[in-house]
Amino acid sequence: MLMNGKNNISVGLITMGLFMAYGFLLIYLRDFAPGAEQWANSYSTGKHFEARLAHVHGNLFALLNILIGFLLLNFHNRLNHVKKISSLALTGILMPVGILSEVYLGLPPVLVLIGAVAIMLSVFWLGIEFFKMQ
């Protein structure tokens, strides 16, 4: 498996597409579905709020993977730990997936925590690697 940034771009674009589609579902639930008024009135609480968190973080983490992948592809010869940074960024996608698994499956937030820590570490680590780059 190529872990030099290509997969980050690919997974990032696919993830972004999926969470964009999920955004359309949220629009349907807010404006057109039976019970739309009740859904809209729960904007800042419960499943509605959590669903919006997943949508926003899914697209943000997808964009971060695209950016990280681009940087890793273009600077892999001058950076250390490219595979580890790539893997951590990909693991970060677990955060929004974890939010959805909480909302729809009632699972505990373990995936949220793993993904959040992984994406944060990948961003910090890549920043440090660029700082050290000659």
79: amino acid identity, one letter: L
Q: Residue 2 has what pLDDT?
A: 61
Q: HSE of 7 in the Cβ direction (CA atoms, 13 Å)?
A: 15
Give the Å distances, CA to CA, from 131 to 45, 70, 98.
Answer: 41, 17, 32
> What is the structure's pLDDT at 48?
80
pLDDT digits (tens, 9 = 90+) for 4-35: 899 999 999 999 999 999 999 998 988 888 98
Residues 6+ apart with CB under 8 A from 39: 29, 30, 33, 48
What is the tens place of the pLDDT at every residue in 36-74? 888 777 777 888 889 999 999 999 999 999 999 999 999
CA 110 to chain centre: 15
Token pair, residue 73, equals: 């592809």
**Which sequence spans correspond to the domains of the chain?**
6-132
- pLDDT of res. 38: 84
Calculate mean pLDDT across residues 102-115.
Answer: 96
Q: Which two tokens stand for residue 106?
A: 């009632």
